[in-house]
Amino acid sequence: MMSATKLRVLRIIDGTSVDGPGLRTSVYLAGCAHRCPGCHNPSSWDFDGGESVSVDDLMKRITENDFDVTLSGGDPLYQIDAVIELASRIRSIGKTVWCYTGFTYEQVAADQRLAPLLCCVDVLVDGPYVESLRDTDLLFRGSANQRLVDVPRSLPGAVQEWRPAF
């Protein structure tokens, strides 16, 4: 399936282990309006940052790497239509998708434009970074308010947190 859809991409890191379990391809997308105080990556706030990359080109790289995928940023949900297309295609090749967002799971689920993403994401790392709740001991997140939402187990109903298999 060929697609003309493009995303603003800041960086792609192949084989990282800091944005989810195992080795992953992390795609950092441009643009964030949350502007959390203490954000570790304020350069990602610029919606015009990075470069325009097609979903097809991202899928080639993801397929070549053969890792599960994490979408981060910025906040991927500000490019929601393209992110849904990308996440759906990633899942169709049998890879898991983690997505970091400053929105909460409840906000995403209640928004008719954002909610379709939940059908193609395995874990949503949700909530804004809150500097006063910073905790360097937390797994895969920066502040205590953020959750690792196991999306398939949470649809529909109460939020279920993701737990490592070890």
Each residue's pLDDT tens digit, 29-58: 999 988 888 887 878 888 899 999 999 999
Closest by Cα among 139, 109, 111 to 125: 139
**Looking at residues 101-127, what average pLDDT do you find?**
96
pLDDT attached to residue 42: 78
Is the pLDDT score of 87 beyond 90? yes
**38 φ/ψ angles, rounded to the nearest 5 degrees:** 85, 5
Where do runs of H (alpha helix) occur along the chain?
55-65, 80-92, 105-110, 151-154
Is the pLDDT score of 141 beyond 70? yes
**Band (155; pLDDT cuts 50, 70, 90):** confident
Is the pLDDT score of 156 beyond 90? no
Is the pLDDT score of 85 beyond 90? yes
Q: Where are the beta strands (DSSP E) in 17-134?
A: 24-29, 51-54, 68-73, 97-100, 123-126
